Amino acid sequence: MNKFVKTTELFDCSNTYLKPLFENSVYPWDMLGKIGDYITELIKTGIPGYIETKKGVLIGKRVKVYSNTTIEPPVIIGSDTEIRPGAFIRGNVIIGEGCVIGNSSELKNCIMLDNVQVPHYNYIGDSILGYKAHMGAGSITSNVKSDKSHVTIKTDNAKIETGLKKCGAMLGDHVEVGCNAVLNPGTVIGKNTSVYPLTSLRGVYPENSIVKDTKTVVKRV
């Protein structure tokens, strides 16, 4: 089973205003240090149909933001997205269209493509979530190693240095993560792969698979 880690292998980005960022990043974690500046430039140039509701916060049409949420700039929130009570969006966050950010979920320095759902008690930090990726209740991305060293991405054939102390998870399009799973720093999950609940993962996992635990990965049929 192939373990893909390049941006083009994990994501089919059709979002117009995000395409340049994805197309110019060989690896998805290359985008993490660019998110803030990219948002700032998009706010300057504008996105059709989006309005700046307060300085540094650009919001599309029909966005539903419940009370008791915190949104710190810079942030872009796509049309038809729902931000539920208690959500904490800490800045440097791009949320695509039709997404759900759930109660008590926390987001920081991350990108979510369209139709992503993090609906219940999730932490998403320094991560990229592909189209229709879904995080089950209580599942989180761990973005810092305990020894604070730089995160490396380890495939079967290579060890890729990210040069980053903070690097969470890269979830390809249509990835499903089960409840209370922990994705340790530098975890990469290929397209159309499902992860069992209560798993603690590290490393690169192939597309079109079912991940039952770190050592049990089966091909989806």
Q: In angstroms, rounded to a whole number, what is the distance separating the alpha carbons of residues 200 and 100? A: 24
Residue 49: exposure state from Cβ atoms within 10 A (0-12, 13-18, ≥19): exposed
For residue 102, give both structure tokens. 């759930």
Q: What φ, ψ does residue 44 adopt, rounded to 5°?
A: -65, -45
Single-letter amino acid code for the residue at 77:
I
Q: Which residues, including other chains, have CB under 8 Å from residue 15's CB and lie 6 or more apart?
A: 78, 96, 97, 113, 114
Q: In angstroms, rounded to a whole number, what is the distance separating the alpha carbons of residues 73 and 93? A: 8
| Catalytic-residue membership of 120 | yes
The catalytically annotated residue of 120, 134, 150, 174 is 120
The distance in angstroms from the start CA to the end CA of the chain is: 13
Which residues on neighbouring strands pair with residue 169, listed in sequence order?
Answer: 187
- Give the active site residues: 120
